[in-house]
Structure 1
């Protein structure tokens, strides 16, 4: 059975809860219902559980092995929310032609305007296909306009992967 995640940040809340629960669907639903009752004061009923079910998402898995390709993109902006919106538009525009398989965005703790995005591809050739897609070209210009200066790209061939 597929693992799922429920992220409280995706559910409107007055408490700005940041809890994320991952696991098998039934166990996540039970834990999320208990959390909603205990922390948020909800009543455990069918309406609550249905709302929680709609918030479940497939758990993210990052599968990387030697021979894969990752791109690091460092950029500075005070418009990160707009960048996230544009990236969502790109996902919809590129659809099934997308060759990127995962992505991570991290914020620099010492400079809250600096971000690093890491994007994974099966290999460098697939990254090139993704890069040449018209949807990617369109989005790249929009993203540059939201950044202070040009983003810095690092194209990396994965040589080794270790689990710690």
Structure 2
């Protein structure tokens, strides 16, 4: 079963945050272990975002987290946030396709 990391954060520096995400994606091409990413914005709370990142496993997520580029990304992200981001590590227990 896959593994999901949720990053819940607030920022007023969206352009800088977008650039940071783009830089991380570029510098980790071919080495990152994340398989899917959703960058979301809360409609009811301006400046509130939730990043949903999927990995093949917990072990692959931890390997990704240990990469120097990810460590640098996390440090810079904290600087761009209004307050401390919240990280949640979730084991996927059920994955259902609801389109049918």
SS in 1 for 2:28: helix
Greater C-alpha Rg: 1
For 1:163 and 1:94, the matched residues in 2 are separated by 30
Q: CA deviation at 1:95?
A: 2.0
Structure 2 match to 1:96: 30
Shift of residue 163, structure 1, vs aligned partner: 1.5
Instruction: Indicate the SS of the match to 1:161.
Output: coil
Equivalent-residue separation in structure 2 for 1:117 and 1:81 (angstroms)? 15
Unaligned runs of 5+ in 2: none
Q: TM-score, normalised by structure 1?
A: 0.58
- 96, 105, 115: which is aligned to 2:39? 105
Matched, 1:83 2:17: yes
Whichever structure has more strand as a proportion of its residues is 2
Q: Which runs of 4+ in 1 moved over 3 A?
A: none
**Which protein has the bigger helix share?**
1
* Larger RCO, structure (CA 8 Å, separation 6 or more): 2
